[in-house]
């Protein structure tokens, strides 16, 4: 777990841990409370940030208020190693749905960023 301290006892970024949903979708998580799933926007990498990069990660910084508001935020990425031109949005939505079902087994709140709002919309249907 990583946290950056600016003053004794006060962290700018929450403690972060990581895992995978259904062994396929990498996520970083932080906070305490009911889960809030954030489908991360498109980026250059489908892997979790490591080391000090976690402290700089906009997903952590921008979503920290949600964690302080009583949620456990799960910032979920797309699976690594996707083939170019071989994966559809429907395939990714199915991966996300299976991962959430396997991890939580019940409906959860979802926030989609950028194109990933399509996955959140698909989950709502």
Looking at residue 20, what is its pLDDT? 92
Cα–Cα dist 25/3, whole Å = 23
pLDDT at 79 over 50: yes
pLDDT by residue (tens digit) across 45-73? 677 766 666 666 666 777 888 888 899 99
Assess if CATH 3.40.50.1820 describes domain 5-124: yes
- Band the pLDDT of 95: cuts 50, 70, 90: confident
Q: Within a 10 A sphere around the Cβ of 47, how many other Cβ atoms?
A: 13
pTM of the model: 0.77
Q: State the CB neighbour count (10 A cutoff) for residue 12.
A: 13
Burial of 41: CB neighbours in 10 Å, binned 0-12, 13-18, 19+: middle
Is residue 118 predicted with pLDDT exceeding 90? no
Kindly state the helix (H) or strand (E) to which residue 29 belongs, with its residue range. strand 25-31
> What pLDDT score does 77 carry?
86
């Amino acid at each position: 777990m990583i946290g950056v301290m600016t003053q004794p006892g006060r962290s700018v970024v929450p403690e972060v841990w990581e895992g995978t949903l259904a062994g396929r979708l990498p996520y970083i998580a932080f906070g305490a409370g009911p889960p809030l799933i954030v489908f991360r926007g498109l980026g250059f990498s489908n892997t979790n940030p490591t080391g000090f990069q976690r402290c700089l990660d906009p997903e952590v910084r921008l979503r920290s208020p949600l964690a302080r508001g009583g949620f456990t935020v799960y910032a979920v990425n797309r699976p690594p190693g996707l083939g170019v031109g071989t994966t559809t949005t429907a395939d990714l939505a199915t991966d996300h749905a299976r991962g959430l079902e396997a991890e939580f087994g019940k409906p959860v709140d979802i926030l989609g960023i950028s194109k990933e709002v399509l996955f959140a919309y698909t989950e709502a249907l």
